[in-house]
Amino acid sequence: MANVVAINQYKLKRKRLEQTTVDQDRRVQNQKWIECLVKVAKTQDQSAFQSLFNHFGPKVKSFYVAHHLSPQIAEELVQETFISVWRYANYFESNKGQVSTWIYTIARNKKLDYFRKTNRQINTTELISDDIAVEPGEQYTTRIGEELTFFLPQLPDEQYEVIKKVYFEQLSHQKAADTLNITLGTVKGRIRSAVNNLNKLMRGGL
């Protein structure tokens, strides 16, 4: 029994170390996006804005499509999201989060606004899934994001590995499946299981 506990503690420490390494890489990348956003805020630099759009636009669209919105609606919401990025760039505070978190928060709010307008119900699992989509390796400014950062390493190994590949390393579902030598369906199933388990963890434990 003691050996099992020791092994589990070792695995948890290893996962947290991996997450720390990812966080360090993200901080370097984030500095680039901060510089772009500052240029947009101060001088309405269109080249900097285009860099932000080219990098985050497809990711934001995938976020919308993943929530069962049509490509057309997703594209419209992407446009609305980046109009807000352009208008409110000067409100970004680098000491409170990362650029990607800020952009995804705008996207999440646009999605919720759209759901309210169309009378679509949103459950807790969807909200947690949103936070996973908002690059879970980051330090969020929201309470739920901070909890996710804490709970992710507590997932079963096979679920954590899929989450790490898809959201930390930003691989496509198919690429993650190829890398882990599992089927695409297994990747999607483990992501769903991870969301359900995170929901349970945040409610008091598996």
Domain ranges of the chain: 2-123
Say what the pLDDT of residue 135 is: 43
Say what the pLDDT of residue 53 is: 96
Does 112 have pLDDT greater than 60? Answer: yes
Most confident of 32-46, 107-121, 123-137: 32-46
What number does CATH give the domain 2-123? Answer: 1.10.1740.10
Which H, E and C letters describe the chain, residue by residue?
CHHHHHHHHHHHHHHHHHHHHHHHHHHHHHHHHHHHHHHHHHHCCHHHHHHHHHHHHHHHHHHHHHCCCCHHHHHHHHHHHHHHHHHHHHHCCHHHCCHHHHHHHHHHHHHHHHHHHCCCCCCHHHHHHHHHHCCCCCCCCCHHHHHHHHHHHHCCHHHHHHHHHHHHCCCCHHHHHHHHCCCHHHHHHHHHHHHHHHHHHHCCCC
Quick: pLDDT tens for 6-35: 666 666 666 666 666 556 666 677 888 999
Percent of the chain surpassing pLDDT 70? 68
